Amino acid sequence: MGKIASQMRRWCLILLLLTSVSLLGWPSAAQSQESVVGAGGMSVTGVEHPELLPLDEMMGSFMREYNVPGASLAVSKNGVLVYSRGFGTRDVEKTRPVLPSTRFRIASVSKPITSAAIASLVKSGKLSFDDAFISFLSPSERAQVHPQIRSVTIKQLLQHRGGWDRSVSSDPMFETIKIGNALQLERPATQAELIRFVLQRAPDFEPGTKYAYSNFGYCLLGRVIESVSKQSYGDYVKLNIGKALGATSLDLGETLTTMPNETKYFVPSNRLVTGVVAGVLGKRVPTQYGGWSIENLDSHGGWIASAEDLVAFADSFNKPDACEFLTTPIVSEIFAEPTADGKDVFYGYGWLVRRVGKTEKVNTWHNGSLPGTSSLLVRRHDGFNWAVLFNTRDGSNGKRLSSLIDPLIHQAVNRVEKWPGQASSRN
C-alpha cells in the first residue's frame, strides 16, 4: 500500500506540472488556479510561461531570501494582463497556497483608489479639487473646525498638504485609545470622534506650505465622498470604481476576520498587543488582528484586493477617456507637480510621481504596509503596470518588502525578451 500511495503522489505531481504549462495567451480563471511545487518546495500557482521565467525566478529567490510566507504578482503590458501567479502559502497552518485571485490587505495602496473616487465626483461635476473640505460638513461641524484649517482644500488633502504632520503630533488614526482617554470616554474613540478631536486643534504647519504624509487627510477625503454621494465610502467606491473595472475582489477589510479568498497575515515575532476593537477590547491579541482597527482606516488604508484587479485599476489611468471615472485633463492634474520647483519626485493626487529623465514621461506608484502586509502598485511610463502583495510586512532583515522588491521587478521585467502572444522585444 505504501508503494502504491507513493506512485500515486508521484503521478499527481507530474499531472500538476503538465497542467501548469499553457499555450500563448492569458488563461481562464479556472486554469489560473493550477498549483505546482517550485524549487525549494514552494507552492507556485497560476499558468507558467517559459518566456517569463525571469519573473518566476525573481519571486522564488526573493521569497526564500527574505523568508516570506506568501505573495502574489500580476503584470500587464499595454492594457493586457500578461502575468499572474501566486507564491507560497496564505495559511501556514493549513498550508493552503496563494492563488492569483487571493485577496490581500493593500494598506496605503488604498490612497490611489480614494483619489480616483474623488476624481469621479469631479468628473460628474459634484465637487471641485479647489473646494474647501469644510463645505461638505454640516453647519454645526464647521463651527467646531479650528480657524487655521477652514480653508484646506480637497487638492491639499490629496497632496498631503493639509497641515497635519504625524512626525510632530503622531498619527491619530492609530491613537484611538489615547484620543478616547482625552475625551474621557473610557473606551477607544470612534472614527467620527477622532475626526472631531483633530479638527478642533491647530494644525502642525500652515496648510499648503509643505508636504507631510497624512493618513488623517485621506480619512477626511472618505467623509467628503460620503457627504457628496450620500452613500457609504465603501459602497461608492465599489459601485463607481470597482464595478467600472470589473474588479470584484475590491472590498473593505475586517479587523478580526478573514474574508472569503483572503490570505491570513503573519508577524514573525508573534507580537501580542492590547486589543482596541469590540470583541477583543483590552485582551492580548496578535497586532495584525485587533491592535488597530482596519475599519477606521477605510479611505487611507482599509481595502483588500487581488493583484490582478489592482493592475486593472492602474491601467485605467493609461486610457482615461475610455474610463467611467477619469478624463485626460483630470489625469494630467492628478500627476501634476504641486509646486513649480521642478522636482524629479513628488506626491500628486494619491500617487507618488517620478519624472523620467528630461522627458514629459513619468513613472507613478504607491506602496503600503501594516503589520502583516506589504503592497506595491506601479505604473511605468512604457505601458507596464504591476502589483505585488505580501502577507507579511518585513523581510528577515527587518526592511519593508515593498521597498526591497521594487528594483528587482523592474530588472526582471526588463529581462523578458518575449511576452505571451507578442514578438520579441529585443533584436
Q: What is the pLDDT of residue 38?
A: 58
The residue type found at 147 is P
Q: Indicate the CATH number of 108-253+294-304 among 3.40.250.10, 3.40.710.10, 3.30.1280.10, 3.40.228.10.
A: 3.40.710.10
Q: Find the mean pLDDT for residues 99-108.
A: 98
Please count the other Cβ atoms lying within 10 Å of the Cβ belonging to residue 329: 12
Cell representation of residue 54 = 525571469
The H-or-E segment that residue 413 falls in is: helix 401-415
Residue for grid cell 509646486: 339
Looking at every residue in the chain, the average pLDDT score rounds to: 90
Q: How far apart are CA 417 and CA 427, in angstroms?
A: 9
Q: What is the pLDDT of residue 170?
A: 95
Q: What is the pLDDT of residue 340?
A: 79
Based on the number of CB atoms within 10 Å of its own CB, is 93 exposed (0-12), middle (13-18) or buried (19 or more)?
Answer: exposed
**Greater model confidence, 398 or 17:** 398
Q: How far apart are CA 123 and CA 382, in angstroms?
A: 26
Percentage of the residues of the chain whose pLDDT score is greater than 90: 84
At 92, is the pLDDT very low, low, confident or very high (cuts 50, 70, 90)?
confident
Q: What is the pLDDT of residue 25?
A: 33
Q: What is the pLDDT of residue 374?
A: 98
pLDDT of 64 over the 90 cut = yes
Q: How far apart are CA 221 and CA 90, in angstroms?
A: 32
Q: Find the mean pLDDT for residues 131-142.
A: 94
Q: What is the pLDDT of residue 93?
A: 84
Q: How many CA atoms lie within 13 A of 326 on its CB side?
A: 26
**Torsion angle (degrees, nearest 10) of CA 23, 28, 34, 38:** 50
Q: What is the pLDDT of residue 95?
A: 85
The residue type found at 102 is T
pLDDT of 375 over the 70 cut = yes
Q: Find the mean pLDDT for residues 349-378.
A: 96
Q: Find the mean pLDDT for residues 5-16.
A: 38
- Among 351, 304, 328, 26, smallest CA distance to 159 is for 351
Instruction: Break the chain into its structural domains and give their ranges.
Output: 108-253+294-304
pLDDT of 155 over the 60 cut = yes
**Greater model confidence, 22 or 292:** 292
Q: Which of 214-223, 260-269, 337-346 has the lowest mean pLDDT?
A: 337-346
Q: How many CA atoms lie within 13 A of 281 on its CB side?
A: 9
Q: Which of 36-45, 80-89, 185-194, 231-240 has the lowest mean pLDDT?
A: 36-45
Residues 6 or more apart whose CB falls under 8 angstroms from that of 280 comprise 256, 289, 290
Q: For 110-124, what is each residue's pLDDT tens digit?
A: 999 999 999 999 999
Contact assessment for residue 131 and residue 225, using Cβ atoms and an 8 Å cutoff: no
Percentage of the residues of the chain whose pLDDT score is greater than 70: 89
